[in-house]
Each structure stands twice: as C-alpha cells, then as structure tokens.
A and B are shown apart, each in its own frame.
Chain A
Amino acid sequence: MAETLIELAGVTRRYGARPALDDVDLSVRRGEFVALVGGSGSGKTTLLKTINGLIRPDAGIVRVAGRPVAEVDGPDLRRGIGYVFQDVGLFPHLTVAGNIAVTPRLLGWDAGRIAARVSELLELVALPAEMAGRAPAELSGGQRQRVGVARALAAEPALMLMDEPFGALDPLTRDALGDDYRALHDRLGLTTVMVTHDMGEAVLLADRLVVLASGRVVASGAPAALLAEAPTEEVRELLDAPRRQAERLRGRFGV
C-alpha cells in the first residue's frame, strides 16, 4: 500500500456560527485520484483549500507529505502544489507562456529551463506551440483551461488540487479535457484531489469518491463499491444520479 500524502484529522472550519467543515478526517494515498462530491455548500471547496493553506482550519490538523500545513510557509507550500479552478484566473497582462512560467519564475529557474518546460507543457496539454505568444483573451474557454492545467503542472508538482476545473466548459470539451487529464495523472504519477458536482465526471475519472454533506464526510470508497453498499439513502441517490440520467436519456432517444 502506497504511503499517505494528505492527511486531515479533526478539521473544523466555521464561517460565523455555521461550520463549513465539521470534524473531518481524511487521508489520500500517493498516486490516488480522489473526487470530492456533494451538494452546494457541503464544504468541498473549503476542504480542498485547507490542503494548500488558502484556508486555515479553526481546529484540527492538515498534513501534506507528513508536514503540518500550519507550520509551512504558505507561498512555499503552494509552489509545490498544482492548483486549478473553474474561473482559471489566467493573468491577463501575461502571454500564455508568461502564465505557464509564473511558478518556475517564483522558484528562480533559469530562462533556458523555463523555456524548455513551457514548450514541453504546451505539448503535454495538447496546445500548438505557436500559442505561447498569445494573450489569454484570444483563447477559447477550453484552451484557457488547458493553459490553467499547464500552469499548475509547471513546477512539476506531485499533487494537483482541482476545483470544478471543467465546470464552465461545453460538454464535448469537458469530456475531452477530463480524459486527457486522467491520462496525464497516470503518466506523470500525480496525486489528484478534484472537487466536482458532476457525478458522471467523478465516477468516470476518480479512483475514489469522498461524499460530503453539511461539512462532514458521509461516505468514502471506490465508485462501484459505494454504489453497491451506500451507507444512506441520500448517498445512494447521489451516486445513482448518472445512471438514472442515462436511463432517462435512453428512454427519450428510444434506443
């Protein structure tokens, strides 16, 4: 069994009186692809951000590679963790290459190594090399998110955190990007924690689903196993949603 890369123990975070995370325990093994699922306001994003220190828990401890996040310098920690989110947040004043090169520059890589890494990454995320000089505003939504993934991968992180990374894309682009990313995950030996509200995406991409409700982990396991023995009716319905949708579609199309 692979070593534990991320470990949360008794993590609680409140916004006012309302707990966004309520005594959460979770561990993620190196190489795992975990999907955090659950309804809106269930605490998925908050949980993800405690891992790279963007949100500090009120109680409990978060460890990454054995070191407590609270004891590590935040910017240092984040330079070693890839982070992709729905709005992408490409820097509009930098070119595509400039965006991808941000973290390597922060780490003080030399110019030659940065240039080589940028072209390597453009190829990796299946973007043509001539895009390097473009401004983010000139790209399509899918291309922008590919640049976002390349930027997150630039400094060769072992861990990727993704917050509904493909949520704003059209279905075809979303599927293509999801598959491409899963392939990258396997090829580069990454560990990925992905927040998504799309159960189909979660079931298709992830090794393990972690279901949150009201800031608590209510279920955790491989998609098939969870579906077979869901702990509550709510979880069963959530997990069953893609299949029900598929059946309804089949009915409509009369296949």
Chain B
Amino acid sequence: MSPQLAEAFRLLPDYLGWHVLLSASALVLGVAISVPLAVAAARSPRVRWPALAGASLIQTVPALALLALFYPVLLAISALSEATLGRGFSALGFLPSLLALTLYSMLPILRNGVAGLTGIDPAIIEAADGVGMTRAQRLWRVELPLAAPVIMAGVRTAAVWTVGAATLSTPVGQTSLGNYIFAGLQTENWVFVLFGCAASATVALAADQLLGLAETGARRRRPILVAAGLGGLALGVALSLSPFAVRGQGAVYVVGAKNFSEQYILAELMAERLEATGARVTRREDLGSAVAYRALAAGEIDVYVDYSGTLWTNVLGRSDNPGREAVLSALTTELRRRDGVTVLGSLGFENAYAFAMRGERARALGITDLDGLARASPRLALGSDLEFLSRPEWRAVDGAYRFAFRSRRSYQPTFMYRALASGDADVISAFSSDGRIAAGGLVVLDDPRGAIPPYDAVVLISPRRADDARLTGALRPLIGAITVEAMREANLSVDRDRDKATPAQAARALKLVLTN
C-alpha cells in the first residue's frame, strides 16, 4: 500500500465518524422540521407557497457559501448571548455545519411531503372524516401512512445531498471526509482527493440503498422491510461513531491547522509530540486564516501555528512595522491581555510574504529589490495567491512602493508557481519558507523600506490550556528549533510533483533535523 493510502486509512475512523455524525444529525433535524412543515403546507396554501419558495431559494445558494454564511451569523448571535446571558457558544465547526446542512436537506423532504399529502384520493379523506377521526387521527392513521413512500423518497434524496454537502464543512472547521479532499487539493495529493470522494460516495450510496429498502417497505406495506432499512441505517451510524466511544479517558488535545502544506506538517509535528506523551489528539485542519485565531481564542482548538505579521495586522489591526523583535514581544503581551492567548514562542523561521521572480528574468531586467520592481512594474504581470491582494500587507507594500503592474491575477498557489514558470506571471507573491523558491531557481526581492511585516512562525496556545504543563512541555522543545532551510525542505517534499510525501511523513523527516 502506498504511504498516502496508508495515511488515508489511518485518518478514516476520525473523519468518517464526524462525517456520519454530522450528516445523520442534519438529516434527523431536517426530517423533524420538514415533515411538520409539509403537513402545515399541505393544509394551507398560505404556508405552502412561502415554505416551498424559501426551501428552493436556500437550494440555489451554493452549499459552500451557505456553510460560510452561518459563521458570521452565529458569531453575532453568540456575541449577543454573551452580552445578555453571559454565555457565548462556538460559531465554528459543528454548529454552523449542522444548521447549513439541515437547511440544505429540507427541500426534497418538504416538496415530497406536500406532494404526498395533497395527492391522497379525496374519497379517502372523506372516509376518514366520515368514520369520526379527528384531524390528528386522520393525519397519523391515514395521511402520513399513505404519504410515507413519497416522503421516504424525499428523505432518500435529502440523505444523498447531505452526505455529499457535508464534505464542504471542512473549511468552517468541522472535521469530515472533506478533509481528504481539501488537504489533497492543497498539497496536490490526488490519492487523498480520490479517497475522500470514494469514501463520501460510499456513505451516500449505503444511506441511499438502506433508505430505498425502507421506502420499498412503506410502498408495499411491509413493515419488516422498513425496519430492516432503518435498522441497517442505525447500525451503520452506530458503527461509524464507535471510535468516539472507545476513545478512552485522558486529555484530548485539538491541534489546528490552516489550509496549506506547512500548516499540515507543523500540526502533525505537534500532534505526534503530544501523542508521544500518551495524550489523545484530534486534528482540525483547513481552517481559514481568521477562523483559526478565533477558534483558538474560543478554546475550540488548543494549539496551532500562526505568523507574527498576520497576527499583527489582522488581529491587532496594526499597519506599522517596528521590527521583528518588537512585533514578537508586543504580540506576546497584547494577545495574552486581549484574549488570554499564550504565544509560546517562535519556531525559528519566518514564512513572510515575499516577491519572487525567476532568477534569469530578474537579472535580465536588473531587478534586485522592490524599488527596482516598482520602476519596471508597468511592463510586468503580478501573480498572487487567492487572498494576498485583499490583505492589509498588500496595501502596505503597494502604498510604500507605488506599483503599477500591467496585470494582476490570483491563482491557487500551485498554479501560481506554474504561471511564473510559463511566463504568464513575471513576479509572484511567494512565501519565504516555500520549498519551491530554491527548487525553482527563484530569487526573493529585498524590501529596503521594510514595508512587509515580519512573519515569524509562532506557536499559539488557547486560554484554557495556558497552564497545561503537558502541552507546553511537549511543544517547548520546538521553539527556535526549525530553520527556514529545514522547513523549505519539508514543504517541498509535500508540494513537489514526484515522490510526494504525506504531511505526516514530512513531519517525521523534519523531526530528525530539529536543531535542539
């Protein structure tokens, strides 16, 4: 078995368990809301139109956007509840995913419910009234049993949609089978991407077949088939969740990571050090940049690596640049004071934004620093990653050097490097720890005006783990222990096209070259 496949299977119990828990909860909640709503809608046209239109409208919102939209909404509700009731809740992870998927599951159940209930022969309704049933008795004894096959068909569609859409909960911080897909896309690990797709499709197909069995049972009025279908489904859910139950006592640490290779490697490095102490560790990967810090401050993740410049501009909202040491010490006191977050220390390398060009092109144009780049910029095309041009760092650099690029394009990082190699871009926004800089013969341009803030990689610890000796003890040896060369090597091993390593393999290789 290839190392990537072995790694994928190692992660399966955790990812599958969360995926099934999330999908099943959303589906149960979806049924619990949609069936009563369908009953009300079937009875009253005044409810029917807005209910169906609303559910259809939700369906037109891309699932990923729907998931993302719940984050600010829940954040606002949480702040409100914190202000009024003194208790907030997490706006990340399970809750927004659950709510978005629940909404997403509603349309097929609602639509089939209304169709099933309004499609009943009026003679049967008249008979139910004629024999003296109350409205509730008519609903439970006649209408729902007769509409059951159609409703079950809707539940079946909803189940397939929900299991598929649950892969999209990864970016809002909820572990799911989507972790394979998102991490795989980021590191070009196609084994992971395919594995994630196959696992999600298998879950969806299994749910579809078992619900299909229950639907057939309802249609043929064979309760034993209904019981077999639903029982099989319950058994499958229970089996998927069993790893959570066996997971013993002892502290469970949650290690977070943002969505790029270096973060996956560092998260693995920290996780393995923690596991070496006998602690249990779960990983929350692929968090967005702003999401990761908030999740840490809220105690949803216990530890992750961030970069001093990012925290300086995005969290503290500063645009000045007092120098590397000053930024680090200001962060240490300010984050502790503001959010109770501990800055354990710098890992020893920087992952700064850097402008990189192909070596021979830079030499041909005589560009060595950003002043030279600014002078040549009207003839040059800039390629950036997806977020750089909307970040404050770009505004600071642009303000200092007054660039006037011929064109500016955003790329997914892998394609950004390809654009530079092919000449579609003349200069790119690279990261200084990226292994592809040395491997591709690129030069990093100097920043004589000091416009780019320092980006020391720092280990952050959540407020509730601030005094956790096991955690700090396990991670303190990493402080100052990783050189930028070692990090570049590790990143390259994951990012390159051939002989790709998994983040866990890269972390084990990195462990061997720690400087202390």
Contact = CB atoms under 8 A, between A and B. Distances in A.
Interface of A: 52, 54, 75-80, 83, 85, 87-93, 102-103, 106, 135, 151-152
B121 A79 contact: no
B391 interface: no
A197 B199 CA distance: 66
A88 B130 CA distance: 11
A106 B132 contact: yes
A93 B217 CA distance: 12
A86 to B, nearest CB: 9
A203 B102 CA distance: 63
Contact of A102 (B123, B131, B221): B131
A90 B121 CA distance: 10
Contacts of B121: 87, 89
B232 interface: no
Chain B interface helix/strand/loop/mixed: helix
A89 B120 CA distance: 11
B131 A103 contact: yes
A79 B127 CA distance: 12
A117 to B, nearest CB: 14
Contacts of A87: 121, 123, 126
B124 A75 contact: no
Interface string B128-160: 111111100100011001100000000000000
Contacts of B142: 91, 93
A89 B137 contact: no
B137 A92 contact: no
B378 to A, nearest CB: 77
A90 B123 CA distance: 8
B107 to A, nearest CB: 27
The 6 closest A-B pairs by CB, nearest first: A89-B127, A79-B132, A87-B123, A78-B132, A83-B130, A89-B123
23 contacts: A52-B130, A54-B126, A54-B129, A75-B132, A75-B134, A75-B137, A76-B132, A77-B132, A78-B129, A83-B127, A83-B130, A87-B121, A88-B123, A89-B125, A89-B127, A90-B124, A90-B127, A91-B142, A92-B146, A93-B142, A93-B221, A103-B132, A152-B131
Contacts of A90: 124, 127
B141 to A, nearest CB: 8
Contacts of A152: 131
A135 B123 CA distance: 17
A79 B128 CA distance: 11
Given A52-B130, A89-B126, A91-B128, 12 more contacts: A54-B126, A54-B130, A75-B132, A78-B129, A79-B131, A89-B125, A90-B127, A93-B142, A102-B141, A103-B131, A103-B132, A106-B131
A102 B127 CA distance: 11
A106 B121 CA distance: 22
Contacts of B145: 93
Q: Which of the listed residues A75, A80, A103, A135 has the most CB atoms from chain B within 10 Å of its own CB?
A: A75
Contacts of B131: 78-79, 83, 102-103, 106, 151-152
Given A91-B142, A92-B146, A93-B146, A85 B130 contact: yes
Nearest to B138: A75
B101 to A, nearest CB: 32
Contacts of B132: 75-80, 103, 106
Contact of A106 (B124, B127, B133): B133
Contacts of A92: 124, 146
A80 B133 CA distance: 12
Contact of B124 (A54, A77, A78, A89): A89
A121 B123 CA distance: 23
A91 B146 CA distance: 9
A106 B130 contact: no
A88 B126 CA distance: 9
Contacts of B127: 83, 85, 88-91
Interface in B346-404: none
Contacts of A83: 127, 130-131
Interface in B108-132: 121, 123-132
Nearest to B120: A92
A72 to B, nearest CB: 11
B123 A106 contact: no
A158 to B, nearest CB: 15
Contacts of A54: 126, 129-130
Contacts of B141: 102
Contacts of B126: 54, 85, 87, 89
Interface in B316-359: none
A108 B133 CA distance: 13
A87 to B, nearest CB: 4
Given A91-B124, A92-B146, A75 B133 contact: yes
A91 B124 CA distance: 6
Nearest to A54: B129
A106 B128 CA distance: 11
Nearest to A106: B132
A92 B125 CA distance: 12
Interface string B214-247: 0000000100000000000000000000000000
Q: Which of the listed residues B125, B130, B133, B145 has the most CB atoms from chain A within 10 Å of its own CB?
A: B130
